[in-house]
Amino acid sequence: MPRKGSHHQEEHEEHVNHEAWVIPYADMLTLLMGLLLVLWAIGNQDLAKMKEFAQGFSSEMGISQPLDGGGGVLADGVAATPTTTTIALSASQLTEARAALTREGEARSAAADAQAQLSQAEQVIRDQAVRSGIDTAITFRREDRGLVVSIVSDDVLFAPGAADLRMDGSTALDALAAALVSLPNRVSIEGHTDDVPISSGRFPSNWELSTARASVVLRYLVDRHQMDPARLVAGGYAEQRPLGTNSTVDGRARNRRVDIAVLSAVSTTSEEATP
């Protein structure tokens, strides 16, 4: 028969063992609550710093609406809503912006007028060339600097290896001058050759030959058509700027030429403005 006192002692020990887990559980909850309070405090501190930085940045940049967004993922647990930011410009900034727009509009208008002027000049030169029967000896191309009229040298302007203007060359230049004298544009006259070397008493190389041909054309326009010398410039480029390949007869013939570049008024202004 079991003893009564022994049974009472076992029940008491079993009761004590069932209640012992409550104390560490309560301690764990206390620690978790403390951790959550710390995290919450850190989050509020960072949010306050972020708002302070946003307000300072808005003030420095002249932005009328502070960049606090009105809310965010740290504010009430709601995602930030995109807002429209307005930049306040000073009176001087507005004046400068209007002036920039005005200058841009004027530049576009000037560029359009310059292109229309070059197109009109090209048509006049074409018509004069057809009437003079030398239209097949003249070609046209547009470049950034303006309208370039190429006149082949062979059998038109000069004899091979020479810089004496032929009769047909005078006719071609007369046709060009009819359009050039009425324009205010500057004109660049440029002599070119093929890559076949030349060596004579008068022209030691193609550089001298191309430069002499450009100078003869310039002198003809000044003396015969009274063009303003201040508008004209002449130079020789030898074989350095070919239009075609120098490996064929036709290509070399294209390269032996004199280019008369009617410079765009816009490009001329840009060049003069460059220090």
Give the per-residue pLDDT at 148. 96
CATH code of residue 230: 3.30.1330.60
User: Is residue 164 a part of any domain in this protein?
Assistant: yes
Establish if 70 belongs to a structural domain.
no
Question: Residue 7: inside a domain, yes or no?
Answer: no
- DSSP letter for 166, please: P
The helix/strand/coil state of 233 is strand
**Token pair listed for 135:** 């239209």
| H helices, E strands: number in the chain | 7, 5
Q: What is the pLDDT of residue 44?
A: 61
Residue 91 is assigned to a structural domain of this protein: no
Contacts of 154-163 spanning 24+ positions with Cβ under 8 A:
154/253, 154/256, 157/213, 157/217, 157/258, 158/213, 158/216, 161/198, 161/200, 161/203, 161/209, 163/202, 163/203, 163/209, 163/212, 163/213, 163/216
Q: Is residue 139 part of a domain?
A: yes
Residue-wise pLDDT tens for the chain (275 aa)? 555 555 555 555 555 555 666 677 777 777 777 677 667 666 665 556 656 655 655 565 455 554 444 444 444 544 555 555 556 667 787 788 788 888 888 888 888 888 888 888 888 888 888 888 888 889 999 999 999 999 998 878 999 889 999 988 898 899 889 888 888 899 999 999 999 999 888 899 999 999 999 999 999 999 999 999 999 999 999 999 999 999 999 999 999 999 999 998 765 554 544 44
156 found inside a domain = yes
Q: Quick one: tokens of 12?
A: 């008491």
pLDDT at position 90, please? 77
The arrangement of strands across the sheet holding 146-152 comes to: 138-143, 146-152, 257-263, 187-192, 232-236
Domain membership of residue 261 as a residue range: 116-273
3-state secondary structure (DSSP) of residue 227: coil
Q: Is residue 207 part of a domain?
A: yes
Q: Is residue 36 part of a domain?
A: no
Number of domains comprising the chain: 1
